[in-house]
Amino acid sequence: MTEISTLTALQLRDALRSKEFSAREVAGYFLGRIEQLNSSLGSFITVTAEHAMVQAQHADEALAGGQGLGMLHGMPLAYKDLLDVCGVPTSYGTAAFGSAATAQKDSPLVAILAGAGAISLGKTQVPEFGLSCHSENNVAPPARNPLDTRLTAGGSSGGEAAAVAAGMIPFGPGNDGGGSVRIPASACGLIGLKPSLGTIPSDVLEGTLDSFGAPRLTVSGPLARTARDAALLMDAMVDPTRETYLEALGEGSVGSLRGLRIGVSTASPFESAYSIKLSPQAHAALEQGISRLGARGHHLEEAEIFYDPAYPETFSTVWTSGLAAAPIPPGSEARLGTLARSFRERATRRGRDISLAAARRLSEIAADFRTQWGRYDIVLTPAMAFSPPEIGFFTSQDADTDYMRQCQYTPFTSMVNVSGLPAITVPTLVTADGLSMGVQLIGRAGSETRLLALAAQLTEM
């Protein structure tokens, strides 16, 4: 079965369809990888091996019987422990709920991918309530970076990213409310796409605004080793009956994309509150991105972008306001982690009028982002400010220091969620220590196809 490890997700999907491998062989192979590696990486909270093998048996029977095949027929993947998978506990990364409740039905995205034929192997590690740019909590061991297990895998899709990077699953669906797909993708050397708000229908079943009227921040997106793998999973998440994004990356289309006006920026809206410093590796990764895109025939220039100094406080207010309504059982607040407990206390004390005012202000800031970035076809930034820090770098601190360090590590991601626009992080550099650093490309509304093509240009040298 060593051949399976050499296949991209797209190649594996095609090998399953052609019966080169059975779904049972593939599921068994990846479950074996999980058994071998998870104890050192902490990617999976729960492994559903028995159920996966039953589903794989059904997939093989469907293929043998000539039944219609879904886009991801027989493909193994996993879900963050923020999403419900029917029959599997969901902890949301918190010890405050005590024993995690078993989900009675699938979350909408899980149902869509299951309907496309995907087979879940289990649930992956997240930070508490998905709040942080790491994947450490009080429920299970932290998700560690496969490139160096002393380091964080990022978050909040850190367990998912580590699983993909280590070959425990071929690709994985994440969700991104402030960088939660792009951060772990960058940390683990993957491609991570955050789509526009509303591109994936299941993301906006409750509308495009939160309960206070602020832009809804969280969207779903793929983590993958190649741009085409990301396109395949993106297609399944958007409409599993059409290969729209994958077809757009067909023969000749990637090479023909030329002449884009790309604004390069290292400015961050967090600079008014914190010291934002780029490491030499972050600068080198950005220069690699500039060089490769220039060689592809694009026009790169320094972008003049000026951010509202009210952003840090406004974003923090909106980001944490929902914690006041979190259904924490009475007397369980003490089991919350330091960051979640502190932010929940502040959100509970905060008047509703303050949250409503912050929502209005953030909507204005979002419009300004779109206007400034809209002067360019693409805005190029560093992915992260420095390489992934060690486990405990964030969680060993008080809440304010923890949050400050998160903003300093990820100074370019949350602003894209606020804008509602799409962005993708792409690896461009392997450091002397074997770590991955990369760039972020921010596109206009609906430009996911263009971003995937640019990711292919950056990685297919």
Catalytic residues: 80, 156, 180
- Say if CB 177 and CB 417 are below 8 A apart: yes
Within 137-181, residue ranges assigned H as helices are: 158-165
Cα–Cα dist 143/136, whole Å? 7
- Say if CB 157 and CB 77 are below 8 A apart: no
- In angstroms and rounded to an integer, the radius of gyration of the C-alpha atoms of the chain is 21
Cα–Cα dist 180/134, whole Å? 9
Short-list 144, 220, 217, 211, CA closest to 184: 144
Hey, what amino acid is at 231?
A
Q: How many CB atoms lie within 10 A of CB 397?
A: 15
Nearest-5° angle of CA 113, CA 117, CA 123?
A: 55
Short-list 110, 80, 339, 107, CA closest to 240: 110
**In which element (H, E) is residue 332 found?**
none
Close Cβ partners of 305 (under 8 Å, ≥ 6 residues apart)? 263, 265, 267, 372, 373, 379
Close Cβ partners of 66 (under 8 Å, ≥ 6 residues apart)? none
Q: Token digits for 409?
A: 């590590």
Cα–Cα dist 278/292, whole Å? 20
In DSSP terms, 437 is beta-bridged to 429
Nearest-5° angle of CA 385, CA 157, CA 179?
A: 40
